[in-house]
Structures are given as C-alpha cells and as structure tokens.
Structure 1
Amino acid sequence: MRPPLFWNRPADRPAWQSRMLSPLAWLYASATARRVARPPSVNASVPVICIGNINAGGTGKTPTTIAVTQLLQDLGHTVVCLTRGYGGTLDGPVLVTPKHTAAQVGDEPLLLAGFADVIVSKDRGAGVPMAMDQKPDVIVMDDGFQNPDLRKDLSIVVVDATVGFGNGFVLPSGPLREPVSTGLARADMLISIGGSAAQNSFDATWGDAIPCPQIQATLEPLPTGMPWDGVKCLAFAGIGHPEKFFATLRGLGAEVARGEALADHQPLSDALMTRLEAEARLLGAQLVTTEKDAVRLPPSFRAKVLTLPVRLKIKDDTDLRAALSKLGLGQT
C-alpha cells in the first residue's frame, strides 16, 4: 500500500482529507500519548539504544541500526540487536540463525544478523533475557520508539529528509505516529537522511521544531567491485521509498529500463519473480534489488538477481560519540 498523496501536502495548506480525518487523528495521537506515558516494565542491565521514528513506514531505521552497531563494535563493544521482526510469523523470543527465513522472522532481522546477534521478539521486554544470554555490552533496538515496555537509555529518531514529517499530521490525517513536538521532545537525537538539497529543505521546514541535536547522514552505495556503468536493469524494491533505489542505480551509471515499486516488505513469491524474470528477459535487462529485498528472494532466484547494498554515512558523528560516551560506551 502506497501512502496517500495528501500526506505530503504542506502543513500550512492541509488537504480536505486531512481536515476531515482530524477527529480520528486526535484519537490516534491520544492513544499513543497514553501508551508512551506508561513507565517501563523491563530494565536491562546494559544500556539500551533505540533507533526509531515518528513517521509510519520506512525512514532508514535499519541502515541506521547497522551504522550504530558497527560504530559500537569499532569502539570495542559487543552488540545484540532486538527487534519485533515485522512481517515474520514467529512471536519469539528467538535468536535469528541462517536457518530462519524472512517469512519466519522478517527481512530486517535477517539483514541485521549479518552484523550482530539478533533477537526477534514481538514483546520487546520478553526478548531481553535472551538478549542478555549473548553477554552484550549494549542492546540496540531496531524500532520501538513508541513502545514503553523496555527502558531506553538513548533514543535516536530517524527521518527521511526528502519526505520530512509530511504534512505534520498524525495518522490517518498524515504520516505521523505522534505529533512532531511530542515525539521529538522524548528523543535524544535526530538523524536526517538525504542529500544536501533535501537537508536544506528539511531544515527550512522543520528546523525550528527540532529540540534535540540533529545529525545529517546519507545512504551511499557500498563499493562491491560491480561495474554498474551501462548495465541495463529491471530494478525492483519493496522498501519505504523504492524510487530512491532506482535513482541510486542511475547515479551509478546503470540504465534502469524499468523500476518495479513494490509494497514495503512485500513477499517475493515465485509467481512475482517469474513475471519479473520474463519481463527482464524481454528487455534484455538484469534483475537488481536491494539488500533488504534480497533476503526475501525464493532460493531458485537468488543466483539470478544482483544486489546493490547501501550504508549510512554520517556527516559528523561527534554528538553521537558523545552520547555513547555518557552511557559508558566510549572506546574500550
């Protein structure tokens, strides 16, 4: 399901749909406020870092979780990631292994498991004992900013600078899980992801509403030795904003003959992949997808699809390192 266009209208010129849905938005925001006001029921014996958002949908949380995890590992710390496993059938708690599938634990946990131990638990608090069994120095939680069950020591909100906070309204009037003012008041840090033009536009629109330190970052293709220049592609992506993936390929010099924008976390069925393979053959194109989508590929298609990985590049991580040091997570 693609987000409605009226969610991206300017906040000072809301669409009639936003105004019409405002009573429902008020109820949603009130319910969220009551939930986040509950005191945590679980306290881990190590620091807990939450990578979350106030937008519904993808903003770049998983690349940010990977970047924070790798920074902590570079500082000498053992990290365990905790996630609810969106889209997976297993309630958990369960330690993700190579035997698991995306259908069982979700695509993001499988991707994260390439960097650290990952615990999937629909009940975040219930996943803490299993996380602690791995003897971590720190738990990094992918998503869960609005979940009050587990005490958080550092909350990082992630936003896509291109989209920003949309029209500034709460669901279903807009794209937000909670109002910008209340959400960012609980955040310790904001990471905005995008190029310089997007960052400038985001700051011009939302800069005055940001009460916490803001870090700028970009998603950069990971050099793999693959010469993309001139490669004709049929690209497909089931991420928050597939168009960005297609633009990244074009920026590397690839010819995107067609881009198939799938729903976020959409299952890659044999029927879908057979259709895409047939279309690619007719176009004389190579199938290409994202790292997150690649873990959902049926086994028979994994050798037929190229993957373009991206990594978060933080412009200046001084504030992030300072926040980690305050938690006793500086260089060991």
Structure 2
Amino acid sequence: MALSFFRKAPRFWERRGPTALLLWPLSWVYGLVLRIRKLIYDLGIGNHQASPVPIIIVGNIRVGGTGKTPIVIAIAQQLAQLGWRPGIISRGYGSRQISPTQVRSDSDPMQVGDEPVLIAKRTHDQFPIWVFPKRRQSIKALLKHSPDVNVIISDDGLQHSGLSRWPAREGGRDIELVVRDSRGEGNGFLLPAGPLRESADRGRDATLFTESAGSNKSGLLEEYFVGRRAFTLLGTLGIPYQLNNLANTQTLAQIAEQFLPNQISAVAALGNPKRFFNALQKQGIAGKWIPLPDHASYTPEFFNDIQGQCILITEKDAVKCSAITDQRIWVVPMNLNLPDNLVDWMQSILQRPDPNRYNL
C-alpha cells in the first residue's frame, strides 16, 4: 500500500524534479481512480448510510502526520467541557484486529496502533475509543457499547467515503477539518509522484494550520486558502517527565542547563519529526536529532546504541517504550489549546437539529 510504503517522505515530493515527473503518469492513473470513486459516491451507488450522530473528521491531504492526534485530543476535551459526550474512532495504524476493538490506556500499541493508545493515555480513558479500518463498523460498535455518545471524532478518514454526513448537512461530513503543516502540499502531485492523497483543493469546512506555512517550492495552491475558513493551532512543549518515573519531572530549561549539547539526543518517529526538533531548539535545547519513519517501533538495543546522558522522545513514541527501562529517556508532552472562535464555530454546527427527529 502506498501510504505504508512511503512512511518516510522522499525528497522528490517537495519539488517537481525528474523523479516526480517520471512518476507523474502513475499519479494521473491514481487521480482517475479517485474521480471514478467520487462519481460512484455522488450517484448514490452503494450503501452510504449516515451515522446517527454527527461526525468530526480530523484528517489531512498530505501523506504522513501533520499533527492530527493532538487536535483530536483537544477537540474531545473541549467538547466534553461544554457538555458534549464525544467518542473517538481511528483506523489504528498497524492494528492487527479483525473486528472493531476498544482501546484503553493499557492496550498494546502493536495490536491497536500507537496513536489511539496515546489518545487513551492523554485523556485517562475519559472517552470511548474504537479502532478498525472500516470506520462505519467502529461507529456501530462504539455506539452499541456507549449509547450516550452524541458526537464522534474521527482521527483521519477524509478519504473514507463510507463516512456519510447527516441528511440535513451540506455536502460531505458534518465537519471536515484538514490539518496542514509547514510542508504544505510539496510539489502538488498526487501519489506516487507527490505526497497528496487527493487534490489539495478538495472541499473542507476549515483548514487547521499546525505551523506557519513553509517555503512551498512549487508555489502551488497557496491562493486556495485566501479568504477561506482557517485556524492556526500552535502547540507548546510541556514539562518533560522520565519515561519510567512519571512523577520525576524537569523543565527543558533545566535539561539544557544540566547536559551539554553533545550529551543530548532527541528521537521522533513522526510524519514530520522536524517539527518536534524545531520546537526543542526554540526552547534552547541543542543536541543530536534522530528522525525515524512514522510509527517506527523501539527496542532496548536501539536506545543502548545512543551515546549521551539524556534522550528526549515524544509521547507518541513513549507508548511504544513500556518495556524499556533506560533511565536516560525523558518524554516531552505537547499541549494544544483550541482558539475560542474554532470551538464556537464547531458548536454552531453540532447544535443544528437532528434531522432524524423529524422523519415521522
């Protein structure tokens, strides 16, 4: 599968060089398949039954992580504070389940995916979380187990045509949020010549920027965002805690003062690990950066080979390190606050009348 093969974005995705142009015919075929699928959906062919509760899709156009999971967590927590009862569904990257499965904070990330386990840990099992590639089946299982849930947040799923919007909604899902980071759309090509799962000008209710836009070498698509609904969500790094002793904490300033740069290493298995490293640098942390492919797993031997006195990792990496006892490892949390205007806008949509209530 292309999304699995390109776990680490190739450099040619960022500009329209010879390799990208050579692969462009395959991208054209991929785009044709997408257009046929959309036509089938628009004609109403197949069973596209709407969910009994509204769905918020937090997804991306570009392959690889753009910062969706922290946003899912923040939306769920904010809606809960406002009286909503959210549930969360996810594909569960690498999940080995053959049926919808509920995820808890003590679930095995190798079985259900690292991001769902991260959500469960960060929210202390506050919300029901279910994983399965077929998201409609996940929704059915979630609502059967937790019938009080009245809004579902999908971690990814923009390209999952099985998620239909309520009949009273306006085209697409209830709320579709496209998350975009500083890499933008790269060279603007679809897979495999470029990083796009679908055309970057596809409809969406809002774009969420997790970083300021970077230098998009292709110069493409920037005009699309002018005058459209968009929000900037800039996360901040929290106070690091020791992997094997959560009560033991120290600030990034203390780490920078305690260890020399050549004794500090930072490891990140993210879609865009550079974002983590840049955030550390802004906090005065200098050291060796070790980027890994998204969703990479860890072994004690991997950390044993790292020289130095301090190793910094993300919370997403930490959920895969429960069997590792290296005292040098510190976990750096990411905190994210939603702007009030984004929350108010989402609430205005979710508070629309239930169309099923009037189908007598």
TM-score category of the 2 structures, normalised to the smaller one: 0.7 to 0.9
The structure 2 residue matched to 1:24, chosen from 21, 26, 46, is 26
Q: Which residue pairs with 1:247 in the alignment?
A: 278
Please report how far the alpha carbon of residue 33 of structure 1 lies from its aligned counterpart in structure 2 after TM superposition: 2.9
Task: Give runs of aligned pairs for residues 1-332 of structure 1, distance below 5 A.
Answer: 1-9=7-15, 14-37=16-39, 38=41, 39=44, 41-114=48-121, 115=123, 116-132=127-143, 133-134=145-146, 135-151=148-164, 152-160=173-181, 162-181=182-201, 183=202, 185=203, 187-195=204-212, 198=213, 206-210=221-225, 212-223=228-239, 226-229=250-253, 230=256, 231-232=258-259, 233-256=264-287, 258-276=288-306, 279-280=307-308, 285-301=309-325, 304-314=328-338, 316-328=339-351
Deviation for aligned residue 1:147: 0.3
Q: Is the 8 A contact 2:19 2:193 kept in 1?
A: yes
Count residues with an aligned counterpart: 311
Residue identity opposite 1:157 in structure 2: V
* Deviations, residues 266-303 of structure 1 (Å, cap 9, x unaligned): 01123323323xx23xxxx2111001010011423375
Q: Is the 8 A contact 1:41 1:125 kept in 2?
A: no
- The answer to whether the Cα contact below 8 Å between 1:194 and 1:217 also exists between their aligned partners in 2 is yes
**Which shifted more, 63-72 or 316-325?**
316-325
Superposition RMSD in Å: 2.4
Whether the 8 Å contact between 2:184 and 2:214 is mirrored in structure 1 is: no
Tell me the distance in 1 between the aligned counterparts of 2:136 and 2:352.
22
Aligned partner of residue 255 in structure 1, secondary structure: coil
TM-score, structure 2 normalization: 0.79
- Matched position secondary structure for 2:69: helix
Contact 1:49–1:155 (8 Å) recurs in 2: yes
Q: Report the CA distance shift for 1:46/1:298 in structure 2 as closer, same or farther (over 3 A).
A: same
Deviation at 1:17, TM superposition (A): 1.8
Q: Post-superposition shift, 1:54?
A: 0.7
Other structure's SS at 2:117 match: helix
Shift of 1:91: 3.4
DSSP-derived class of the 2:188 partner: coil
What is the TM-score normalised by the length of structure 1? 0.86
Amino acid at match of 1:262: L
Kindly indicate whether the alpha-carbon contact (under 8 Å) linking 2:266 and 2:311 is maintained by their aligned counterparts in 1: yes
- Measured against aligned partners, the alpha-carbon deviations of 1:61-120 in whole angstroms (never above 9, x if no partner) come to 111111211221121111110001002222330111234211011100001113222101
Indicate if the aligned counterparts of 1:35 and 1:146 stay in contact, CA closer than 8 A.
Answer: no
Rate the CA distance shift 1:325–1:235 in 2: closer, same or farther, 3 A: same
Aligned equivalents of 1:328, 1:199: Cα separation in 2: 36
Superposed CA offset, 1:140-190 (max 9, x none): 000010001122311111011x10111111111111011112x2x2x1111
Gaps of 5+ in 2: 1-6, 165-172, 241-248, 354-360
- Give, in angstroms, the shift of residue 46 of structure 1: 1.1
CA contact (8 A) 1:165 1:176 kept: yes
Report the CA distance between 1:199 and its aligned residue.
6.9
Q: Percent identity?
A: 30
Contact 1:54 1:157 in 2 (8 A): yes
Listed as ranges, the gaps of 5+ residues in structure 1 are none
Distance 1:323 1:228, change over 3 A: closer
